[in-house]
Structure 1
Amino acid sequence: MKFKQWPKFARVLFYIVVLVISARLIGTVIKLNPPVFVLLFTLTSIFCLIGVIKGNLRFIKLNTRKHTLIALASSVLLGSISIGTMATSNTRTPEERQALAEAWELTKAKNSGQADLTDDELVERVKNDLKWKLDEIEVTLEKNEIIVTGKMKDLTVKQVQMEASSIAEKLYSGIKNMPNCVIVLNSTFLDKYGNQSWGEAARITIERETAVKINYDKLNSEQVASLFTIWYHPTMPKSVLN
């Protein structure tokens, strides 16, 4: 039987189950403040429950005893979910609620760059921030210095300067305790026979003391890059060749 051929109450129940599961997953993923989540979830469940009951009452008038029992069961199921959610929230002690609230505030502060990250969080945050730029990215923390290694095809001097500026702004504007950073960019090279291979194309060394002083809105990428120490491979072209 196709979905469109399902009884109306069954389709409504299906949507509600999807809504409940999605809400719980979203709440977990974004670490939504538990008390707020419980309140919103409970209100949504009650609203949906009222809608299901009203729809099932119409359904009961028009259908058999078997369908009536199924309709009532769907209402009881949703009601149980709502009551269970409220009951679970009420079992937390004041200390547990306070701890959850403090954990949520700390998470928000870290995500906004207003609180220090632990070493593991720092490595993971840098990797997440740069994984859209670099292929096969690796991030390590050595002697209070972040080492980033990644691949980019067909690099030029101009592109390295743009990446240096963009990466510095991203990391030092969004991470409160971001230390000095070394970025190793591997790229493709062609030998005289036309064979392609990967190798180190550029190495960008960014000092925290310098990076946090830069007004990235007022300087172009070349000006920003000139404030860092950058080594370029001798064969790297300055710009894209036509």
Structure 2
Amino acid sequence: MKEADLLEQFPRLWHMAEDGSWDSIRKHGLLSTSKLLDLHKVTGDERFALESQRRPKSVKITANGREVATVRDNIPMRDSQLAKCLAPNITPKEWFELLNKRAFFWLSRDRLRTLLNAKAYRGRPQTVLTVDTAKLVNAHRDRIQLSPINSGATLYNPQPRGHDTFKSIADYPFDERRKTRKIMDSIAELVVIDGVPDVKNHLVAVHAVDKGVATELWRCPGTAEDDGP
């Protein structure tokens, strides 16, 4: 895929975070789960449970007097379904660890809203980050990858996945996928390996979203009031 096409077709990205996480994100950036566990010095069996297998519920962690952080659940993932769609050269443990080394963004507002309205999340307030794609890519292009599937879900018709699910922008088969799909369905996820410690530099806005109502928490000066979730 050409970088110019990515920026033209998908000028905004969205990340759904735990309610109340904006202060921590502003301080530490948007970290991958693995980097968050590093920050809070989580090791041993506790780390294995959070990083190397399915999390059936969100878990709060803290260490050394730091503020409490939440490691989000993997509710949309099912172990039995994952085993069926994983490539033979990767184990479930390796897949979860691969996911937990990445921070995830939706390229479509519709996908964000689908997640916000999903049964597991629609009754709970969420923090939504709206990100300027061009700024993020310019700062982190070497750590950015694209996925054709919702890599963290296996609930409905789970698609094959493995080490080659995530591809660099240049290696992603965008033109091929466009032949049989709408543009907005040609890429499911944009991920950044290890997360985005300077995410505030690339933000358009931050909102608290509860029952479909978005309340603005922060906005980059000069951006349109309706630019958000």
Structures share a fold, TM > 0.5?
no
- The higher-RCO structure (CA 8 Å, 6+ apart) is 2
Question: Normalised by the size of structure 1, how large is the TM-score?
Answer: 0.19
Q: Which has the higher helix share?
A: 1
Q: TM-score, normalised by structure 2?
A: 0.20
Compare the two structures and name the one with the higher strand fraction: 2
